[in-house]
Amino acid sequence: MTIYIDNKPYEVKPGKNLLEACLELGLNLPYFCWHPALGSVGACRQCAVKVFKDEDDKTGRLVMGCMEPVRDNLRLSIEDPGAKTFRDQVIGWLMTNHPHDCAVCDEGGSCHLQDMTVMTGHTYRNYRFSKRTFENQDLGPFISHEMNRCIQCYRCVRFYKDYAGGKDLNVFAAHNHVYFGRCENGTLESEFSGNLAEVCPTGVFTDKTLHSHYTRKWDMTWAPSVCQGCSLGCNTSAGERYGSLRQITNRYNGEVNGYFLCDRGRFGYEFVNSDQRILQAAIRPHYNGTTNKDHILEQVAQKVKNGRTIGIGSPRASLESNYALKLLVGEDNFYLGMSDTDHDHTSLALKILRDGPARTPSMQEAAKADVVFILGEDLTNTAPMLALAVRQAAQHKPESDAMGDIHVAAWQDAAVREAVQDKHGPVYIFHTVPTKLDELAEDIHRGAPEQLARLGFAIAQMLGADIVPVTGLSQEDAALAEKIAAALMTAEHPLIISGYGSGCDHMMKAAANIAWALQQKGRNPMLSLTLPEVNSMGLEILGGHRLDTALDVLRQGDADTVIVLENDLYRRADPHIIDEIFLHAQDVILIDHLYNRTAEKATVLLPAGTFAEADGTVVNNEGRAQRFYQVFVPKGDMQESWRWCLQIAEKAGITALQGLRNLDDIDLALTNGMPSLEPLQQLAPHAGFRINGQRIPREPHRYSGRTAILANENVSEPKPAEDVDTPLSFTMEGYRGEPPSPLIPFFWSPGWNSVQSVNKYQQEIGGHLHGGDPGIRLLEPHLNGGPHYFHEAPDTFVPIPGHVHIMPLYHIYGSEELSMYTPGIAQQAGEFCCLYLNPEDLAQWNIAPGNWVTIDLDHHACRLVATPNHWMPRGLGAVSAGMPHSPVVDLPVCVKLQA
């Protein structure tokens, strides 16, 4: 439809509000309370425009742009003097109490309030009276609080409570005293609290980890990156200054993470700056003190040349690094560095998604589901942003009902919420222990993972899956299964979620059966499977042998050198197994970035770049390949792992890697070697890409200090580093327009310094980025031929006398290796040494709660603290998974309990 803005006709999409329409057209209209993901409430009065009856109407009336829908032939004016004065006065009022803080405010330079103040032209303060003040609160290690700066837009509580389901942030007091905070000091409970720093248009909520090494947005060197925190691969922008990583911000991706990140992803970056980083190549024993990189590479090449070398890859290393290692040691000598269970789960997930007929959704598609069935996953802890998507999905049905009933648009947030109240769409959750999403669930079912999976199989069978019938269900269970089956059948977009979180692969099988049965019935199911790590899927697609077979090869003496890629083996199997690997291997060459337990024992250390110092590609749980870019050039010998492999290969004369020099070369070799990865060639522009002959600058045009940063070392500035792998430059010189979507280092637009400038990069507000969202899906469902159902449901879980079956419990803080180097995350991590058991089991075994118990793990005694937990079924125990120092590594496991 056509609307006229300041007498110029524009084509706009119906269903939008005027503010969205203006922003979409690239016009500048200030706003505060509206947020693209939260909708409009018309609270701040900042987006006022004049609307005219017809061409002859010269008076018009003031309306709030965010509350007025577009209509055909609507005439409005942004530039009308009346509207302009109104907006100028509104911001004047909003600022009456605003402190004189910009110089010491962490928001400054990326502050929406600053931008809007400049945009409205309210340059001087007219208010001369006293300002009201507030006390601040301590909100924990992630978020700073400075309440004086609040302009009462209510975005924080609308995000925190309405959108993310948080409970402990609220608005207090009344009139001009309204206060946004907790009812008392304390760490914010939501796993999405970090988004407050971006949602709040002022400096009330800011990133506390940034504060500890504060740098303005304009002073950082940025690169498009991908979160390394879990398998979802949320898009981030990573910023560096003076050689250390300073901040992670959201990088909008209309298919993956949208506007938000979880706290593990946002704050879990500090390992990059850790004092545990390996900076220089090193070799043991250290002969004469004159080791340098070349000498060590020579030594490594000698070892590799003899052909008795195996390579252990890593799910936290890029596709390129894993592939380079695979070629270096030879296809037959490449082992996947995952624990046995992770390997089982990942290969099963790949099989289900690649060979089965059900489609796996992107996160934004998942957020549009109308019925959600979660089978054995505590999403908040295993795939946090997917939990946020489920929260949106749960709102979906009541919202669309409400919109039908009261005829309002979806962006009419207050009206829609009023109509919805606390209704939820159908969500069903099966999990052994309570999860944070339970509050949304229509039905919850608890029990041992095998029991839950059995019920899942029963549902699949009710939906017509051709599998062995599940017998012995109680009447209630059968009724629940019927109910869920019926709900899934009637849904337009049913979403079934499962994954690695219970440590039971039958869960994924049951989920696949259900999705496939729905597909057979002509429905349109989505099947989402979580995976353990950022590149689990990519590594599995590359393929290799199981980790435990590496030990056999070493034991038999068929190999004597091991190259370990970005991997702490002690997280992959129980310590005695890894110890044995070290016992049999003459040399262990570790390419990694942190000095971990594996590094302590390795004979050669080659410092690898983290995601911030390397380029590479990772594949998320959806099979979406995404590129992350090097942010800065580190000091010392650090470089991409794949580059180490290339350099070793060159010295050792390995032909498979001959002639490969940079990222594009490896990607070409990769797609030639694995035709299924052909789409990778379209993933992002190649290194030679230029716009008007220019690179894309990593630094904003206001970047400061070029001629002073290194002047203390030498007053003559060094030549800036060159990037041979990508079209980005490490300087502020280059093309200043909008780069192609995979190459956007940071969001900025004239007049829009804050992250809100993302509006200018989207095809439509909340939609895809110009030119399509970055990332390429490698997995599409296999639609020909019927599904190959998993026929057998697992047996009923029966406790074995004297034994306990231990399942893993994952935690958003603690279960992931690298994020634990962030002090704020370590501080909130769960207990690593607790064995959760049913109190009745404890009583029966005469164990006092809180006492140490010894379990027998493969004939190795290991001690844990018995902790009662009445959610555990009899005979089942649980241990927090992935914690540093945890004595039990490969979970689940069945162990003998020694009294």
Partner 1 sequence: MFSLLRSMWLVFLHTFHKRETYQYPEEKAPLPARWRGRIALTRDPDGGERCVGCYLCAAACPVDCISLQATEAPDGRRYPSFFRINFSRCIFCGFCEEACPTYAIQLLPDFEMAEYDRQNLVYEKEDLLINSQGKYPGYNYYRVAGMAIEGKDKGEAQHEEPPVNIKSLLP
Nearer residue to partner 1 within complex by CB, 218 or 632: 218
The interface partner of residue 215, options being ligand FES, ligand SF4, partner 1, none and the CB cut-off 5 to 8 Å by kind, is partner 1
What does the alpha-carbon distance between residue 688 and residue 497 come to, in Å, rounded to a whole number? Answer: 41
Dist CA 622 CA 363 (whole Å): 9
**CB–CB of 234/261 below 8 Å?**
yes
564 strand-pairing partners = 312, 590
How many chain residues bind ligand SF4 (CB under 6 A)?
Answer: 37
CB-nearer residue toward ligand FES: 44 or 375: 44
Around Cβ 27, how many Cβ atoms within 10 Å?
Answer: 15
Summarize as ranges the residues that interact with partner 1 (CB under 8 A).
Answer: 99-104, 108-109, 128-136, 146, 148-149, 172-175, 177, 179, 211, 213-216, 218-219, 242, 702-709, 711-712, 714-716
- Contact track, ligand SF4, 56-95, x by CB under 6 A: ----------------------------------------
Cis upstream peptide for 607 (omega within 30°): no
Q: Is 433 in the site for ligand SF4 (CB under 6 A)?
A: no
Q: 194 touches which of ligand FES, partner 1, ligand SF4, none (CB within 5 to 8 A by kind)? A: none
Residue 46 near which of ligand SF4, ligand FES, partner 1, none (CB within 5-8 Å, type-dependent): ligand FES
For residue 342, the minimal CB distance to ligand SF4 (Å) is 16
Q: Is 734 left (phi over 0), alpha (psi -120 to 50) or beta?
A: left
Contacts for 549-556 with beta carbons within 8 Å, 24 or more apart? 549/335, 550/310, 550/312, 550/335, 550/581, 551/577, 551/580, 551/581, 551/584, 553/310, 554/310, 554/580, 554/581, 554/584, 554/585, 555/580, 555/584
Does 44 bind ligand FES (CB under 6 A)? Our answer is: yes
The alpha carbon of 691 is separated from its chain's Cα centroid by a whole number of angstroms, namely 30
Q: Does 49 bind ligand FES (CB under 6 A)?
A: no
Measured torsion, CA atoms of residues 825, 828, 832, 834, in degrees rounded to the nearest 10: -160
DSSP conformation letters of 1-70:
-EEEETTEEEE--TT-BHHHHHHHTT-----SS-BTTTBB---S-TTEEEEESSTT--S-EEEEGGGSB-
Binding of residue 32 to ligand FES (CB under 6 A): yes
Residue 9 CB burial class (10 angstroms; 0-12, 13-18, ≥19): exposed
Write the binding mask 594 to 633 for ligand FES: x where contact by CB under 6 A, - elsewhere.
Answer: ----------------------------------------
- Residues contacting 630, CB < 8 A, separation 6+: 223, 609, 612, 613, 614, 615, 640, 723, 725, 726
154 binds ligand SF4 (CB under 6 A): yes
Does 182 interact with ligand SF4 (rule: CB under 6 A)? no
Exactly one of 35, 122, 149, 417 binds ligand SF4 (CB under 6 A); which one? 149
41 binds ligand SF4 (CB under 6 A): no
CA distances from 260 to 140, 193, 198, 368, 548 (A): 20, 10, 9, 16, 39
- C-beta of 33 vs 638, nearer to ligand FES: 33
Among 12, 22, 33, 879, binds ligand FES (CB under 6 A): 33
CB of 186 to partner 1, least distance (A): 16
Residue 230 or residue 367: which is nearer to ligand SF4 going by CB?
A: 230
Q: Which of residues 63 and 826 has its CB atom nearest to ligand FES in the complex?
A: 63
Look up residue 786 and give its two tokens: 């019927």
Please list the residues that pair with 179 across neighbouring strands: 172
- Indicate whether 261 belongs to the interface with ligand SF4 (CB under 6 A): yes
DSSP letters spanning 95-109: TTT--S-GGG-TTTT
DSSP class of 76: E
42 binds ligand FES per the rule CB under 6 A = yes
| Partner interacting with residue 107 (select from ligand SF4, ligand FES, partner 1, none; CB below 5-8 Å by kind) | ligand SF4
What is the enclosing helix (H) or strand (E) of 445?
strand 443-445
The residues in 371-410 that bind ligand SF4, with binding defined as CB under 6 A, are: 383-385
Among 3, 24, 45, 282, binds ligand FES (CB under 6 A): 45
Contact of residue 47 among ligand FES, ligand SF4, partner 1, none (CB under 5-8 Å per partner type):
ligand FES
CA 138 to chain centre: 26
List the one residue from 12, 64, 105, 387 that touches ligand FES (CB under 6 A).
64
| 143: contact with ligand SF4 by CB under 6 A | no
Specify the stretch interacting with ligand FES by CB under 6 A; choose among 27-35, 373-381, 556-564, 718-726: 27-35
**C-beta of 49 vs 585, nearer to ligand FES:** 49
Q: From residue 454, how far is each of 226, 524, 899 by CA, in Å?
A: 36, 23, 32
Q: Does 31 bind ligand FES (CB under 6 A)?
A: yes
Judged by beta carbon distances under 5 to 8 A according to partner kind, the member of ligand SF4, partner 1, ligand FES, none in contact with residue 821 is none
**Angle, alpha carbons 178-182-187 (nearest 5°):** 150
Q: Is residue 686 helix, strand or coil? A: coil
Nearer CB in complex with partner 1: 130/682: 130
CB neighbourhood size of 633 (10 A) = 17
CA distances from 23 to 314, 454, 653 (A): 44, 51, 57
Least separation, in Å, of the C-beta of 149 and partner 1?
A: 8
Distance CA 660, CA 663 (A): 8
Select the span of 59-67, 398-406, 655-663, 753-761 touching ligand FES (CB under 6 A).
59-67
Alpha-carbon distance of 690 to 735, in angstroms, equals 8
Nearer to ligand SF4, 98 or 493 (CB): 98
| Binder of ligand SF4 out of 208, 217, 264, 572 (CB under 6 A) | 264
Provide the minimum distance between the beta carbon of 177 and partner 1 in the complex, in angstroms, as a whole number: 5
**What is the C-alpha to C-alpha distance for residues 637 and 559, in angstroms, rounded to an integer?**
28
Judged by beta carbon distances under 5 to 8 A according to partner kind, the member of partner 1, ligand SF4, ligand FES, none in contact with residue 172 is partner 1
Q: Name the minimum Å distance from CB 715 to partner 1.
A: 5
Please report how close the Cβ of residue 15 comes to ligand FES at its closest, in angstroms. 17
Q: Which does 230 bind (CB under 5 to 8 A by kind): ligand SF4, partner 1, ligand FES, none?
A: ligand SF4
46 interacts with ligand FES by CB under 6 A: yes
Calpha distance 640→607 (Å, rounded): 9
User: Of these partners, partner 1, ligand FES, ligand SF4, none, which one is at the site of residue 264 (CB under 5 to 8 Å by kind)?
Assistant: ligand SF4
Identify the residue among 5, 66, 372, 402 touching ligand FES (CB under 6 A).
66
Q: Which two tokens stand for residue 724?
A: 């041979």
Q: Can you tell me the distance from the alpha carbon of 432 to that of 416, in angstroms, rounded to the nearest whole number?
A: 34
* Residue of 450, 470, 460, 441 lying closest to 358 (CA atoms): 460
Contact flag: residue 155 with ligand SF4 (CB under 6 A):
yes
Of 223-231, 414-422, 784-792, 850-858, which part binds ligand SF4 (CB under 6 A)?
223-231
Among the listed residues 18, 22, 43, 156, the single contact to ligand SF4 using CB under 6 A: 156
Written as one letter, the residue type at 392 is Q
- Written as one string, the DSSP assignment of 465-498 is --SPPP----HHHHHHHHHHHHHHHH-SSEEEEE
SS3 of 495-507: the string is: EEEEECCCCCHHH
90 binds ligand FES (CB under 6 A): no
Q: For residue 212, which amino acid is it?
A: S
Give, as ranges, the residues between 112 and 141 that touch ligand SF4 (CB under 6 A).
113-114
Binding residues for ligand SF4, rule: CB under 6 A, are 98, 101-102, 105, 107-108, 111, 113-114, 149-156, 180, 200-204, 227, 229-230, 232-234, 257, 261-262, 264-265, 383-385
Binding residues for ligand FES, rule: CB under 6 A, are 19, 31-34, 40, 42-47, 64-66
